[in-house]
Structure 1
Amino acid sequence: MSPSLQSYLTAKRTVDDRALNRRVLGRCSDELAGIDEPARVVEFGFGVGTMIERLAEWGRLPERTSYRAIDRDPENVAVARERIPDRLEATDYRIVDEPDTGWENPREGARADTAGRRASGRSIDLTLEVADALSTEAIADRDTASEGDSRADAVIAAAFLDIVDLERALSTIATILEPGGLLYAPITFDGATGFAPPHPLDARIERLYHRHMDDIRDSGGSTAGRKLLSSLPENGFETLAAGGSDWIVRPRSADEGREYPAAERTFLEAILETIDEALVAYPGDVLDPADRRTWVSTRRRQLEESELSFVGHHVDVLARLENG
């Protein structure tokens, strides 16, 4: 059975943790610290909430943060509602439990934790929203909202700008950011997908997989990272920091042989499934189905035997919307 989207998003938490460019993240944290509190943060495509958890666990948010998290998948939001209170329990942050926060049906454990952490002074006023952040309706709602409701000090778009229309996304982000507001866009894919040990079909499979991103998939692209860097000035942004962020997943030595850390086997299962689904779109004169099956079955066997390693290249970017 293929991993669910929510299982994949949960499993890649540790992969992203290693990959994130610490220099870019540090600059982002420093810039957020200079914002008048509460800092107003909006995250596009927040998945199951791993970025919120990470920033709180790593102490990268201001002491008082208003955090609006948007994802169009109701199942992602449902999982996030279950995960986040438990993950924030060990941090210095509390979830503000107020009627207007959008935190529907908070778990009793979260409510008790809120009461117990008031002395710390660190709080996240958290809203989880089921919506397409780039939809016409959502943009119209922001345009007609009051100034205080519609503007943000920072937008986070993690592993997001490579799967949407980049120009449209930057335009939307510029619409909701305050002049001088921040865009933090980590884990933006940029043109490299590799596996080890090598296979004779690797180069062809990678080329067709990336071509699918560029020509067949509805939006996004295989070189979104470098396109982001060139598109920022054209959309009124100044790049503050940028750096590489690579997914590297490999088996590690364990007491009973070799094993993948945490849930990273599930992550790799989902990556192979995604590639296979993309390759199926090609007719036989472009890719022989037997070649596809051979490559995929070999990689799945290597994964089962804890022999498969994987590298995916991304770019992390921090930018500021220029004044006027």
Structure 2
Amino acid sequence: MTHARPRYLEAKRSVDDRALSRRVRNRLLERLPADPRVLEIGCGTGVSVPRLRSWGVDAGQYRGVDTDEGIVVFARDVRPKTLRYADDGVEVEPDAPDADFTVADLSVRFEVGDALAALDDATDVDLVLAGAFADLVPLSRLVPAVESALRPGGLAYFPITFDGGTIFGPALPGDDAVERAYHEAIDARPGRDVRAGRHLAERLNDRDGDLLAMASSDWVVRPHGSEYPADERHFLSRILGFVEEAVSAADRPVQGFDSWLATRREQLATGELFYVAHQYDLLYRSAER
């Protein structure tokens, strides 16, 4: 595995931090027990661990599952080091019993595995966390699996759930055709859904539990002067790569796409490109049964 995916996931951290809805986060923290059992599906490089700690979740058990072995190896290696550096005075212990490491009173384990299978095997979880994940798998399979893993009254948090808006600027004549082809290519892949945010809300509303909160969490990336914050220039480069891959493989070619893409990459290099993706954060509480 190359370092492309870890760097992309690390680069989008600052983008996610800006996008996350504070209102949904606050509702989550109001309902979360003091020492929760957390299962994150599609955990990536484990950035949710420092994020949860920054929100005051400093005790309990965290288990992160991802299918990519290289990503899990990265998380196990890098996350304790960054936590130790960032949390001056907080004890981070490697090779703790039943965990990859512990930070303060929070035990952390990263595992290689199928996320939906991990849900099937889990019970009495206080919080299922699925960030930027619900648009990647069939919702008909995901929603009941999440609910079966939760304890009665447990919480499911679905931040950064894509919902069918991909905007680049400054505006170019081919923007609408590129967006349409990009979304069609995504929807053509098994289990994918470019309108997962609204469809997830509909499915959660049909369950016995409660959709406690829902708010937009759009990615907005723009230059300041001609520079981008943190590693967000790389993030945008990868987004353009995703669009190129999808549109180039589409059944119907998009007229002028090569020129459109070259212009967008030139704008990125000169610090002119901005990007918006429409997304939702959702918080669900399972029924008391």
- State the TM-score, normalized to the length of structure 2: 0.92
Over aligned residues, Cα RMSD in angstroms?
2.0
Q: Does 1:39 align with 2:39?
A: no
Q: Does 1:29 align with 2:29?
A: yes
CA drift of 1:98 comes to 5.6
Structure 1 residues without counterparts, runs of 5 or longer: 115-121, 143-149
Deviation per CA, 1:100-153, whole angstroms, max 9, x where unpaired?
4241xx6xxx8xxx6xxxxxxx42111111001113xx45644xxxxxxx3211
What CA distance in whole angstroms lies between the structure 2 residues aligned with 1:213 and 1:28? 30
What CA distance in whole angstroms lies between the structure 1 residues aligned with 2:26 and 2:81? 25
Q: Does 1:55 align with 2:52?
A: yes
Which region of structure 1 is more displaced relative to structure 2, 73-82 or 88-97? Answer: 88-97
What CA distance in whole angstroms lies between the structure 1 residues aligned with 2:119 and 2:35? 23
What CA distance in whole angstroms lies between the structure 2 residues aligned with 1:163 and 1:95? 33
What CA distance in whole angstroms lies between the structure 1 residues aligned with 2:223 and 2:98? 42
Aligned match for 1:186, one of 156, 159, 181: 159
Alignment of 1:218-297 (within 5 A): 218-253=190-225, 258-283=226-251, 286-288=252-254, 291-297=256-262
CA drift of 1:236 comes to 3.0
Indicate the SS of the match to 1:47: coil
C-alpha contact (below 8 Å) 2:134/2:142 kept by paired residues = yes
CA drift of 1:64 comes to 1.6
Aligned match for 1:316, one of 278, 281, 286: 281
CA drift of 1:87 comes to 2.5
CA drift of 1:86 comes to 2.3
Q: Does 1:66 align with 2:66?
A: no
CA drift of 1:93 comes to 5.5
Structure 2 residues without counterparts, runs of 5 or longer: none
Give the match for residue 10 of structure 2. Answer: 10
Alignment of 1:181-220 (within 5 A): 181-214=154-187, 216-220=188-192
What CA distance in whole angstroms lies between the structure 2 residues aligned with 1:93 and 1:41? 20
Give the match for residue 113 of structure 2. Answer: 131
C-alpha contact (below 8 Å) 1:96/1:123 kept by paired residues = no
Aligned match for 2:142, one of 151, 165, 169: 169
C-alpha contact (below 8 Å) 2:120/2:145 kept by paired residues = no
When residues 252 and 139 of structure 1 are mapped into structure 2, their CA distance, relative to the original with a 3 A threshold, is: closer
Deviation per CA, 1:177-219, whole angstroms, max 9, x where unpaired?
10100001100001110011101000011111111222x1122
Q: Does 1:84 align with 2:79?
A: yes
Alignment of 1:141-180 (within 5 A): 141-142=121-122, 150-180=123-153
When residues 158 and 140 of structure 1 are mapped into structure 2, their CA distance, relative to the original with a 3 A threshold, is: closer
1:84 is aligned with what amino acid?
R
What CA distance in whole angstroms lies between the structure 2 residues aligned with 1:3 and 1:97? 24
What CA distance in whole angstroms lies between the structure 2 residues aligned with 1:60 and 1:279? 42
What CA distance in whole angstroms lies between the structure 1 residues aligned with 2:120 and 2:195? 30
Indicate the SS of the match to 1:164: coil
What CA distance in whole angstroms lies between the structure 1 residues aligned with 2:124 and 2:228? 42
What CA distance in whole angstroms lies between the structure 1 residues aligned with 2:149 and 2:6? 28
What CA distance in whole angstroms lies between the structure 1 residues aligned with 2:92 and 2:55? 15
Deviation per CA, 1:207-236, whole angstroms, max 9, x where unpaired?
11111222x112221111111111003233
May I ask how many residue pairs the two structures share in their alignment? 286
- State the TM-score, normalized to the length of structure 1: 0.83
Deviation per CA, 1:155-196, whole angstroms, max 9, x where unpaired?
000001011111211111111110100001100001110011
Indicate the SS of the match to 2:217: strand
Aligned match for 1:101, one of 98, 101, 113: 98
Structure showing greater Rg: 1
Give the match for residue 302 of structure 1. Answer: 267
C-alpha contact (below 8 Å) 1:93/1:124 kept by paired residues = no
Q: Percent identity?
A: 39
Which region of structure 1 is more displaced relative to structure 2, 217-226 or 290-299? Answer: 290-299
